């Protein structure tokens, strides 16, 4: 493949944008080489500035469950834009999307819209602190909850890739209130709680982790967290920025039958426009301004274009629940095909998958937490695999610490092409 124009554009971008990108993982630092500049996308495909067509397994990092430029979403945005792009006043469409979200997701009464997953998680933690009157939080090594200060304490995703788990600019004062636990290790959480008795406002986690590759919760882990939170008066916060409206209409709470106290959303709920949200039962949500004392706001929150895209997306998912079954079947097909190809070429691997989230770790041992994910990533095989796949027209996550997201726009022919590419690339691994 030729990436001449992408390379030129990257050189120009670096002169005026730090690192040439507006979000670090896009820069391909983790896998080496230079990023691809996309010109347009449609359905399951990206078309780059050099005219290459790529089968896309990122889908804007998750939200495009129905593929790129999905017509109902596009139509909704275009029609809405004709009426004006932002008013800074309430609009009816905000209530419509809130009603639909509350209908689809179990255990929530109210939802507040923000502009990103970062804002959703940051606001959820403030609300948890305000509601409980306690200051400390527990987060898990390798879970990523956006780039707000409290979370940049050995965070996953780009923060790990760039070797700055404790980013300069995050104060010691902030860091001391974030306690770090090991994912899938309930005893570790209990020890932290014991050592910080009555000081912990919430435990926040990705209930199915996606930012250290895909790591599903071990059996009993989420249930154990629920129990200990109930016993200790701690709020359980599920960061469903990736899993919400993807693993089921009602997210992980529905899929794995464990309830959280506050849920954070992002990505899907904006249909590819900049949206995040957080939701909870009335008693917690009514703690928010203007009703309650916890302040949280946003000039563009509930923006009509973003709400139109999100409403079109959620409406499709609500009215056609077979979509969840379809993406899951496609992911299982891919899983089986990749497994076969890697086995045939004797490549050591572990494939982690839950529903339509999947990742390939190049190590035989189980990958269950950040340490094992880092061990799997350290042999450099993923980076070689990434470039091999790209050369064959397949765009997977440009980092071993990310999940692949399957969209329903992928055809079985696309999946077969992908499996063929895995077979070819794995011969060289
Ligand atoms: N939480 C999770 C689980 C995420 O995956 C992400 C982004 N990848 C975020 C929060 C932050 O979302 P955003 O990038 O929209 O701020």
Same domain, 9 and 136: no
139 and 256 part of one domain: yes
Active site residue 239: yes
DSSP-derived letter for residue 149 is G
Dump pLDDT digits (tens) for 279-307: 999 999 999 999 999 999 999 999 999 99
Active-site residue, selected from the candidate residues 29, 136, 267, 381: 267
Ligand 1 atom having least distance to the Cα of 211: 5
Distance CA 36, CA 139 (A): 33
Counting ligand 1 atoms within 8 A of each CB, the residue from 205, 237, 242 with the most, and so the one to mutate, is: 242
Same domain? 313 vs 343: no
pLDDT tens digits, 27-77: 998 899 999 999 999 999 999 999 999 999 999 999 999 999 999 999 999
The ligand 1 site (C-beta within 6 Å) comprises 61, 116-118, 121, 144-146, 157, 206, 210-211, 239, 241-242, 266, 276
The tally of domains found in the chain comes to 2
Q: Which two tokens stand for residue 34?
A: 């230079």
User: Could you read off the pLDDT of 310-367 as tens digits, one per residue?
Assistant: 999 999 999 999 999 999 999 999 999 999 999 999 999 999 999 999 999 999 999 9
The residue nearest atom 13 of ligand 1, judged by CA position, is 117
Same domain, yes or no: 98 and 240? yes
Domain boundary among 319, 354, 375: 319
Nearest CA to ligand 1 atom 12: 117
Q: Which atom of ligand 1 approaches the CA of 274 most closely? A: 15
**pLDDT on residue 162:** 39
- Dump pLDDT digits (tens) for 244-260: 999 999 999 999 999 99
In this structure, what CATH number is given to the domain that contains residue 15?
3.90.1150.10
* Distance between Cα 114 and ligand 1 center (Å): 13
pLDDT bracket for residue 166 (50, 70, 90): low
Q: Which domain holds residue 403?
A: 4-69+321-426
Pick from 33, 127, 119: nearest CA to 303: 119
- What is the predicted pLDDT for the residue at 159? 45
CA–CA separation, 69 vs 273, rounded Å? 12
Residues 354 and 222 in one domain: no
Which of 262, 286, 319 is at the close of a domain?
A: 319
With the most atoms of ligand 1 within 8 angstroms of its CB, the residue from 244, 262, 266, 397 to mutate is 266
Q: What is the ipTM of this complex?
A: 0.99
How remote is the CA of residue 347 from the centroid of ligand 1, in Å? 31
Q: Which of 20-34, 77-91, 202-216 has the lowest mean pLDDT?
A: 20-34
Is 381 tagged catalytic?
Answer: no
3-state secondary structure of 397: coil
Which ligand 1 atom is the nearest neighbour of the CA of 143?
3
Residue nearest to atom 3 of ligand 1 (CA): 241
Buried b / exposed e along 324-349 (16+ C-beta atoms within 10 A): beebbebbebbbebbbebbeeeebeb
Distance CA 202, CA 183 (A): 15
Average pLDDT, the chain: 94
Q: What is the pLDDT of residues 206-264, one digit of tens each?
A: 999 999 999 999 999 999 999 999 999 999 999 999 999 999 999 999 999 999 999 99
CB distance 254 to 243 below 8 Å: no
Nearest atom in ligand 1 to the alpha carbon of residue 157 is 8
Give 245 Cα–ligand 1 centroid separation in angstroms.
14
- Determine the atom of ligand 1 nearest the C-alpha atom of 266: 15
Pocket test for ligand 1, best of 113, 115, 210, 211 (most atoms within 8 A of CB): 211
On whether both 36 and 77 belong to a single domain, the answer is: no
State the catalytic residue, choosing from 144, 183, 382, 395: 144
Q: Are residues 339 and 382 in the same domain?
A: yes
pTM over 0.90: yes
CA of 27 to the centre of ligand 1 (A): 17
Query: Of the ranges 39-43, 51-55, 169-173, 201-205, which one carries the lowest mean pLDDT score?
Result: 169-173
Percent of the chain with pLDDT over 70: 97
Residues 164 and 269 in one domain: yes
Q: How confident is the model at residue 173 (pLDDT cuts 50, 70, 90)?
A: confident
**Catalytic annotation present for 56:** no
CATH code: domain of residue 149: 3.40.640.10
**Ligand 1: distance of its center to the CA of 146 in Å?**
5
- For residue 154, the model assigns a pLDDT of 63
Considering only CA atoms, which of 381, 359, 384, 338 is closest in space to residue 142? 359
> 287 and 376: one domain?
no
Query: What is the 172 CA–ligand 1 centroid distance (Å)?
Result: 23
240/152 same-domain check: yes
Q: Do 224 and 130 share a structural domain?
A: yes
Ligand 1 atom closest to 61 (CA): 8
Residues 6+ apart with CB under 8 A from 355: 208, 246, 247, 248, 255, 324, 327, 328, 331
Q: Taking the chain, what is the end-to-end CA distance rounded to the nearest angstrom?
A: 20
What does the pLDDT read at residue 155?
47
Of ligand 1's atoms, which has the minimum distance to the CA of residue 206? 3
122 CA to centre of ligand 1 in angstroms = 11
Residues constituting the chain: 429
40 exposure class (CB count in 10 Å sphere: 0-12, 13-18, 19+): exposed
Domain end call among 319, 343, 364: 319
Q: Of the listed 56, 239, 261, 408, which one is catalytic?
A: 239
Radius of gyration of the chain (CA): 21
CA–centroid distance, residue 10 to ligand 1 (Å): 24
* 165 pLDDT higher than 70: no
Q: Are residues 292 and 329 in the same domain?
A: no
């Amino acid at each position: 493949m030729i990436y001449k124009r992408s390379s030129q554009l990257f050189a120009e971008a670096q002169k005026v944008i730090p690192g040439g990108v507006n979000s670090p993982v896009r820069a391909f630092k983790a896998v080496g080489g230079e990023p691809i500049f996309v010109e347009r996308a449609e359905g399951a495909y990206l078309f780059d500035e050099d005219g290459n067509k790529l089968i896309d397994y990122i889908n804007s990092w998750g939200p495009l469950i129905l593929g790129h430029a999905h017509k109902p979403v596009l139509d909704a945005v275009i029609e809405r834009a004709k009426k004006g792009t932002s008013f800074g006043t309430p609009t009816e469409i905000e209530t419509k999307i809130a009603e639909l979200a509350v209908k689809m997701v179990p255990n929530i009464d109210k939802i507040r819209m923000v502009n990103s997953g970062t804002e959703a998680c940051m606001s959820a933690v403030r609300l948890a602190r305000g509601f409980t009157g306690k200051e400390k939080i527990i987060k898990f090594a390798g879970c990523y909850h956006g780039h707000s200060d409290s979370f940049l304490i050995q965070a996953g995703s780009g923060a790990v890739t760039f070797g700055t788990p404790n980013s300069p600019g995050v104060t010691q004062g902030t860091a001391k209130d974030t306690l770090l636990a090991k994912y899938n290790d309930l005893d570790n959480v209990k020890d932290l709680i014991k050592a910080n008795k009555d000081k912990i406002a919430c435990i926040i986690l990705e209930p199915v982790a996606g930012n250290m590759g895909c790591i599903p919760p071990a059996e009993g882990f989420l249930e154990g967290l629920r129990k200990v939170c109930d016993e200790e008066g701690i709020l359980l916060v599920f960061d469903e920025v990736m899993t919400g409206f993807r693993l089921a209409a009602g997210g992980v709470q529905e899929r794995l039958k464990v309830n959280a106290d506050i849920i954070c959303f992002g990505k899907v709920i904006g249909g590819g426009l900049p949206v995040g949200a957080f939701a909870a039962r009335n008693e917690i949500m009514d703690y928010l301004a203007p009703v309650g004392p916890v302040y949280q706001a946003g000039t563009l929150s509930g923006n009509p274009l973003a709400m139109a895209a999100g409403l079109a997306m959620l409406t499709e998912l609500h009215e056609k629940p077979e979509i969840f079954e379809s993406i899951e079947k496609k992911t299982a097909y891919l899983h089986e095909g990749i497994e076969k190809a890697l086995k045939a070429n004797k490549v050591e691997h572990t494939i982690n998958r839950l529903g339509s989230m999947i990742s390939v770790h190049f190590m035989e041992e189980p990958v269950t937490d950040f340490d094992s994910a880092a061990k799997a990533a350290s042999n450099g095989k993923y980076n070689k695999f990434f470039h091999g796949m790209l050369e064959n027209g397949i765009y997977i996550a440009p980092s071993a610490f990310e999940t692949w997201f399957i969209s329903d726009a992928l055809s079985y022919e696309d999946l077969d092409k992908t499996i063929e590419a895995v077979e070819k690339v794995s011969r060289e691994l």
